[in-house]
Chains A and B, each alone.
Chain A
Amino acid sequence: MNWEEIFVALPKLLDGAVLTLELVFISCIIGFVIAIPVALMRASQNWWVSNIPLIYTFFFRGTPLLVQLFLFYYGAAQFDAVRESIFWPVLKEAYWCALIVFALNTGAYTAEIFRGAIQAVPHGEVEAGIAIGMQKHTLYRRIVLPRAIRMALPAYGNEIILMLKSSALAYTITLFDLTGVTRTIIARNYLAIEMYFTAGVIYLLMTFIFIQVWMRVEKRLLKFQN
């Protein structure tokens, strides 16, 4: 182990880790905002309402993230119509492409996690709400969604950790995230073991801190169960 070189590379690797965190944080927030309405539609009794968003979740859960990134970044850019559209200034940037694809991807998984949780809300609680005369949107806002999100917390935390690791694909579209920086450094100093080891430790640390925070959130929100 060449500790000296690890020390030299550390500031650059941490810069990369900041971009990784940024990508995961923002895409998970956008993904959450997408997931709630999609989950509600997916949980609907109406066949049409339930199956239209299925096209979206099916595509993003059924294809590799790498393929989605390449289709969106390299693929779309091949069409003149895309390059001449008003969206090009955004789509031109690898950063925005990564954010959009990550958000849509995690949004699809999160929506299915929430759909399962919505459908698992005990009937008795819903019926109680109806019995005291709640309107449908009040019922959802005060009973179904708070209950469903609490039930979904462990699975949702898992999804965020998966997203943190999937974000390592950002380097394939020229971003200098933690993995991108690591590979770029290795191309110069050939110290693959040292650099991947350090990157692995940084990923582990990020995951570790996230799990601690998430456990506290779970404990707080699920207090009523204990």
Chain B
Amino acid sequence: MTLDPHLVPLQLGGETLMLDGRGAVWWPERSTLIVADLHLAKAEAFAAQGRFLPPYDSRATLARLVELINAHRPDHVVSLGDGFHRRDGYDRLDAADRQQLDALGLVTRWTWLSGNHDPDAPNGHGASAPELQLGRLHLRHLPTPHPGQAEIAGHLHPKAALRVRGRRLARPCFVTDGQRLLLPALGTFTGGLDVWAPAIAGLFAGPFDVLLCGRDGRLRQLPGSRLEGARRVKVRQGGT
């Protein structure tokens, strides 16, 4: 095994995955790269409403994808849904960005799972599916409350904050309890939901681990109890 500083191994439902601090899952045994919530062409969607956000978000997101694909050379890339911010996102992409995405479609096989923003995969761009079973794992956009088997999901854009020397640091993160793995959003203009929000914390019956993606692309692993907001949740639970 290589000593890639970006990677941290994880056992999930009996499969061995590598979490990549740049915001993706690398599954060596199946040569599969898993990414979530790319939200391509999001700035365009805002521009249509009169807010001219810099039209470089897709470019930046694609650059991250290129880096990940170059690093792992996957045979298969799975997008866990919300690959595009809008259903017609592919057509709204800038011509250069569209070419870039087309090129990525030529170097590897793609599966686009349906998200709530983009129920359909872009035309002629690999397969699309509502969900996907790979090995002992179930891949889907929306996490299920009581999955029968281990799952990998997106949708929630998890983010965690901690306090170090008086400074509050918030970063996108992976969340897992060994049975479920939530991916951070890879898209450039994607906000995050704090891991203590009921939508995330409520998914896990027991303790869970959080792996923060540093700006340097490396992961920092912390138990949930160490994060900001942990005590707040306890106070509330104790009170009711």
Binding partners A and B: no
Interface residues in chain A, defined as those with a beta carbon under 8 Å from any beta carbon in chain B: none
